[in-house]
A and B are shown apart, each in its own frame.
Chain A
Amino acid sequence: MSEGWLLWALLGWPVAGILPCLALRSPRVNLGWTSCVVVAQALLASAVIRAVWIAGSLRMGPVLFVDALSAFHLGVMMIVFVTSTLFAPSYFRHAIESGEFTPWGARRYAALWLGALAAMTLVLLSDNLGLMWVGVEATTLLTAMLIYVHRTPASLEAMWKYLLICSVGVAFAFMGTLLVAAAGRGTQDALTWTHVRKAAGMLDANTLKLGFLFLLVGYGTKAGLAPMHSWLPDAHSQAPAPVSGLFSGFMLSAALYCIMRYVPIVEAATGGTGWSLRLLTFFGVASILVAGAFIVSQRDVKRLLAYSSVEHLGIVALGIGLGKVGLFAALFHTLNHALGKTLAFLCAGRLGQHYGTYDMTRMQGALRASPLWGAGLMICVLALLGAAPFGVFVSEFLIVKAAVEARATWTLVLLLTGLAIIFIGALRHVIGVVYGLPPATPAARRPGPVEVVLVVLPLAALLVLGLWMPDGLRRAIEEAAAVVGGKP
């Protein structure tokens, strides 16, 4: 318990880091400072994860609480944040040199970026379901302005859609939170997760079910589950690459994390009938199929990756819905997806800068024009499509196994159909981008050592996770899965 102060530090540090951002003049220094803050935050987070690893959970006061599930997501969040923050200087280099990225723009960008980090940390750290909601809504509002960094009409449109659809969606989640509190009327602290979890048997099952429907639609909107995903491809395609990477790599998973918190409560209150799990399965399968339909006819590489996120979040939801092995696979998949998708957006972003377009029919020969980013995109997409021997292959295989074990024949058929359509559809597009002869453009700038490391490290991690699962990670995921799977 003595490490409880770490939680305050974790929450306060990014907020404190915002102040210097507002004073720094040079955009480059500002991005450097942001990197320092995020790396320090990652160190703090690893101290928290270590403490949770030893003690099982960590608590500070009545509202801050970290258990295995939030510690696991904290780890994923820091991987995504560190990767995309360190990448930002290289992505914005051209904009800084040309003066498009002004000192004011950089200040705003850095402040909002750290604000988003603080808000997502709040989502993971709060034991209070109301505060968790406050954190999710805050991430929506803080990241909205990040979409509009490149000041184009299209990014403005994307920002407005994101702002409105997600705000209304997340408002539904608030209604759900209130209904859960109403279901627990009479129990103490009807909004504190640890209390509600213990007293789940005493909750009014019908009110709770109604609340869960609202929560699923609300947080599901933010997580990009079909059919509430309409904001997602627009926002992901218009935001600058580091922001798209953050959205896809972690923000969506953070919303799904909120749903995961409610699953054991609803299951315990309804007597373990699997009611909430069936709903998650339904939304999961729907997301995979909808994503498949849009990926086949996609021309914009960032929109393609965005729809692939709808697919992967659907796979995670499906994994939770299947339970047991599926739950383990779902969490493992969250990690794999975060590694692969963040990097894919970063590579696509740099390629897009090189070609001046994200239209895949006009981005030919990326492998020759820009070997590092071209190869990075190709391997990322292959890994995300579930090609062996990368981590995604293992987690998807486990989900298929879970579906077989649960004898969910229709789910299995739809899942495999969806995956096959997406495999063929996406690969066809990306092969066209990577191979072939590049148009006559000036050669790309030689990538610096930081950029090489940023591309190679996540890919190596994905490869290792596909071949060998470290015991520590297995235990961490098993314990996180036990939180969702209903260990009292």
Chain B
Amino acid sequence: MSLLIESAMVLLVLTNLTLLGLSRLRSCIRVVAVQGIVLGLLPLAAHADDLAPRIILLAGGTVALKGFVFPWMLLRALRVANVRHEVEPIVGYTLSIVIGIAGFGMSLWVGSRLTIPGAAAPPLVLPVALFTILVGLFVIVSRRKALTQVLGYLVLENGMYAFGIVLVGEIPMLVELGVLLDVFVAVLVMGIAIYHISREYDHIDVDELDALRG
């Protein structure tokens, strides 16, 4: 059980770092999709000894949404907006990776100091969840394209999901479904917004949306 969880955690770290170094938006979407699939399978690994139907259902739903539906929706938005690359991000790719590694070190340190009562999870989970949240936030603030910010939001959400699945354990099914539905609607609405931004401005560079101040 813990071997499975730990390999999933390693995959999460790798996908995070890859995302920080990629410029092609299409590849970014794929990396986040892979991360979503890994996360969707995480509840199966965490409850490998007693697989209740609700866990299988939840895992199936998460994999379907995060691994296939979201990427499909985002790729569509990408086609409509007609953008290929994240051109000149606010923080360059090499520097992003360096910051990412530093962030991982920091998460390991914080994770070792923070104790969650009664958590039976492998020790790697907490720092990796924190790291994923940090990477999500960093992508949101350091990239110009609206689409990349949506990816950042998804990565942030993934980090919280990892935290919840392994550290909190029993979350009622209703809440899990509600959260999943919310994320789905979030991506849907953000996709619509990207469509309108690309039509209105001929680009989806968020840093040029700066007419409203004061």
A in complex with B: yes
A: residues with CB less than 8 A from B are 63, 128, 130-131, 133-134, 137-138, 141-142, 144-145, 148, 151, 153-154, 156-161, 163-164, 167-168, 171, 174-175, 178, 181-183, 185-186, 190-191, 204, 207, 210, 233-234, 237-238, 294, 297-298, 303
Ranked 3 nearest A-B pairs via Cβ: A130-B175, A134-B178, A157-B209
Contact between B179 and A168, CB atoms less than 8 A apart: no
Residues of A within 8 A of B182 (CB): 134, 137-138, 141
Residues of A within 8 A of B116 (CB): 182, 185, 207
Contact between A207 and B209, CB atoms less than 8 A apart: no
How many contacts A-B (CB < 8 Å)?
Answer: 122
Contact between B118 and A131, CB atoms less than 8 A apart: no
Listed stretches B8-16, B54-62, B67-75, B195-203; interface member: B195-203
Take A130-B175, A204-B117 as given contacts and tell me if A153 and B201 are in contact as well, using a CB distance cutoff of 8 Å: yes
Contact between A153 and B200, CB atoms less than 8 A apart: yes
Shortest CB-to-CB span from B32 to chain A, Å, is 15
Contact between A160 and B163, CB atoms less than 8 A apart: no
Residues of B within 8 A of A144 (CB): 189, 193
Contact between B212 and A134, CB atoms less than 8 A apart: no
| Bound: A167/B152 CA distance, A | 11
Residues of A within 8 A of B105 (CB): none
Partner of B164, one of A142, A153, A178, A204: A178
Listed stretches B22-30, B77-85, B96-104, B153-161; interface member: B153-161
- How many residues of chain B have a CB within 8 Å of chain A? 44
Contact between A174 and B211, CB atoms less than 8 A apart: no
| Bound: A122/B88 CA distance, A | 43
CB contacts under 8 Å to A, within B19-55, are none
Residues of B within 8 A of A233 (CB): 212, 214
Given A154-B211, A163-B189, A303-B214, 17 additional A-B pairs, CB 8 A: A130-B175, A134-B175, A134-B178, A134-B182, A144-B189, A153-B201, A156-B197, A167-B186, A178-B168, A181-B168, A181-B171, A182-B119, A182-B168, A185-B168, A204-B117, A233-B214, A294-B214
B206 close to chain A: CB less than 8 A: yes
Contact between A191 and B175, CB atoms less than 8 A apart: yes
CB contacts under 8 Å to A, within B103-162, are 114, 116-119, 133, 137, 140, 146, 149, 153, 156-157, 160
Shortest CB-to-CB span from B212 to chain A, Å, is 4
Contact between A134 and B168, CB atoms less than 8 A apart: no
B167 close to chain A: CB less than 8 A: yes
Contact between B179 and A128, CB atoms less than 8 A apart: no
Partner of A171, one of B118, B160, B196, B197: B160
Take A130-B178, A156-B200, A204-B117 as given contacts and tell me if A175 and B212 are in contact as well, using a CB distance cutoff of 8 Å: no
Contact between A171 and B214, CB atoms less than 8 A apart: no
| Bound: A411/B201 CA distance, A | 46
B192 close to chain A: CB less than 8 A: yes
Take A157-B212, A159-B193 as given contacts and tell me if A134 and B156 are in contact as well, using a CB distance cutoff of 8 Å: no
Residues of B within 8 A of A137 (CB): 179, 182, 186
Residue of B at shortest CB range from A62?
B172
Residue of B at shortest CB range from A204?
B117
Residue of B at shortest CB range from A303?
B214
B91 close to chain A: CB less than 8 A: no
Contact between A156 and B214, CB atoms less than 8 A apart: no
Residues of A within 8 A of B64 (CB): none
Contact between A148 and B196, CB atoms less than 8 A apart: yes
Shortest CB-to-CB span from B31 to chain A, Å, is 20
Take A182-B168, A204-B117 as given contacts and tell me if A171 and B157 are in contact as well, using a CB distance cutoff of 8 Å: yes
Contact between B179 and A141, CB atoms less than 8 A apart: no
